[in-house]
Structure 1
Amino acid sequence: MPSRTLFTSVTPLPQGVSRGVAVAFLHDHESMIDLNPLVQERHRIPPPPHSPDDERGCTWYSLTDKVAHLPLGLGLGHVTYTCAFHDLPRGLQTHCYAPMGVETRSKWSVGGCVPGEPLEPVELGLKAPAQGLYLREDVDLRCNILVAGLVKKTILKSHGTLVERLVEAARRQARAAAVAAAEDVSPCARNTAAVELHVEGASRLGKSPAELP
């Protein structure tokens, strides 16, 4: 029996991380993929036959995750699926199609305000910070009711780690940008965090940075 599960997570962004830096990270699809602790492989692909008309202009990837079929990490296996990435002015939309009819739509956005900006009304029940920027993920999960709980738990755990890594990488990039601006150094210095992130992703995938596209 199919089921639909909706859930939202909110993570405050540290001071010094601008809206532009946070959105730029969301628009860096390959870095977003590499930050996910489950992903073992990624390959850029053309729109697959099952893609609807409004997703044919998206950026598509074939992804392979490491998953546990049983508790405590027992019964480890791999699952390959396709995922569409669509940039928005304040964030990113993804739509993943996995085996057994599992579909996950995620919308990532940067909300809140920084000093000097007018306060944004905070959505009731969201538990977002009254001041400062935050990263929001809205997930629409559709799958068989028998596996819904396991899939949701897996998404929450892996995306929690992804967000922690994203926040830390954004903090490093903001710090590097501030140093570059203060010292008026070459643009190469401003890419320090991006290079570190690329190397980190390559290391986690068991590859050298040169092997990543």
Structure 2
Amino acid sequence: MSKRTTFTTISPLPPGISRDAVLAFLHNHIEMIDLNPLIKERHLITAPANAPPEEHACAWYSLTDEISYLPGGLATGNVSYTCCFHDLPTGLQTHCYAPMGLEIRDKWTVAGSLPGEPVEPVELGIGAPLTGLYIREDVDMRCNVFTTSFVKKTLKKSHGLLVDRLKSKVHRTVIAAAHQRHGSQNSLSGSVRSGSSGNSASQSQHQMYPNPAYTNNALGNQISLPYRPSHHNPAIAPTPAPTPPASDGSANSLNAYPEPLRVRRTTPGATSTAGGDAGQQRNECQQNSGATLQGPFVAELE
């Protein structure tokens, strides 16, 4: 003899958790299964032959619960059953088939409204908050009349722990995403500041050296100047190099450039004219022997 039992559980969500984050966890079937403290084993299966046609397209799992029949875990046992998962735009719907004619239909819904959103009408008599988000669980189960109280108590306890774990995990995920977003913003702002400082340095260098030919060497910060050929400016006359005056044996010739010494070698068969010229040159050298000679002497061999 089976009995149908329905009940609704409301679990308010903490501020800072978005609707999309909770829906993402509800649509993750593996996460929902692993958050249940009773389930100890699960694996994916195909739809059973006795499943209704509308449930053939759902995701089916074989689950094993560890049930404690006496307080303190004095008597425990394993119960295996099948369950299908169907995603909804606002949550998740499950349908479980267990031994002894136990059948549980469960619907999880993310309801409520965030600040700035239109306020949803709140159903009376379920204890839903007027503002903020909450998870609504609607359970419709059929089981033996003698086990109804035990199944309902076990289901409420396990699903209460599941919702607490879900809220904690969603909260940690939201905080981690916020930290990652904040770190990426800091990295972006740091790169912008680095680029601004580099542009400022380039502008200051351009102000100091407006000509692009002035380059900054990375090794020694040396400045290389471009080659600029000199052009003759008629307005500025070059200073002529001093020319040595003619050596006339006077006192003014002492501070002038000396005339190069020329040594001429004559052959024994030289004419008397050549001998006379050599004698004249020796006399000139004797007259200038008292002066101080400056600069190099060029010996010319003729």
User: TM exceeds 0.5?
Assistant: yes
Q: Partner residue of 2:188?
A: none
Q: Partner residue of 2:90?
A: 90
| 2:115 pairs with 1:108 | no
Q: Distance in 2 between matches of 1:57 and 1:125?
A: 35
Q: Partner residue of 1:12?
A: 12
Deviation at 1:92, TM superposition (A): 0.1
TM-score (norm 1): 0.84
Q: Distance in 1 between matches of 2:141 and 2:49?
A: 21
Could you tell me whether the CA contact under 8 Å between 1:69 and 1:75 is conserved in 2? Answer: yes
Q: Partner residue of 1:28?
A: 28
Q: Distance in 2 between matches of 1:26 and 1:60?
A: 15
Q: Partner residue of 1:43?
A: 43
After TM superposition, the runs of 4+ consecutive aligned structure 1 residues lying more than 4 A away are none
| 2:83 pairs with 1:73 | no
Q: Partner residue of 1:128?
A: 128
Identity %: 58
Q: SS at 2:118's partner residue? A: coil
Q: Distance in 2 between matches of 1:86 and 1:184?
A: 36
After the TM superposition, which residues 130-169 of structure 1 pair with which residues of structure 2 at under 5 Å, given as runs? Answer: 130-169=130-169
Q: Distance in 1 between matches of 2:181 and 2:89?
A: 25
Deviation at 1:177, TM superposition (A): 1.6
Could you tell me whether the CA contact under 8 Å between 1:16 and 1:175 is conserved in 2? Answer: no
Q: Distance in 1 between matches of 2:147 and 2:69?
A: 10
Q: Distance in 2 between matches of 1:3 and 1:182?
A: 54
One-letter amino acid matched to 1:150: F
Q: SS at 2:100's partner residue? A: helix
One-letter amino acid matched to 2:154: T
- The structure carrying a bigger strand percent of its residues is 1
Give structure 1 stretches of 5+ with no counterpart. Answer: 186-213
What do the CA deviations read for 1:149-172 (whole angstroms, capped 9, x no partner)?
A: 000000001001100000000101
Give 1 or 2 for the bigger CA radius of gyration.
2
Q: Distance in 1 between matches of 2:44 and 2:20?
A: 25
Deviation at 1:72, TM superposition (A): 3.8
Deviation at 1:50, TM superposition (A): 1.8
One-letter amino acid matched to 1:163: V
Q: SS at 2:123's partner residue? A: coil
Q: Partner residue of 2:236?
A: none
One-letter amino acid matched to 1:15: P
Q: Distance in 1 between matches of 2:183 and 2:118?
A: 31
What do the CA deviations read for 1:31-86 (whole angstroms, capped 9, x no partner)?
A: 10000000000001011112110000000000000002334433200000000000
TM-score (norm 2): 0.60
Give the number of aligned pairs.
185
Which one scores higher on RCO, CA 8 angstroms, separation ≥ 6? 1
One-letter amino acid matched to 2:55: E
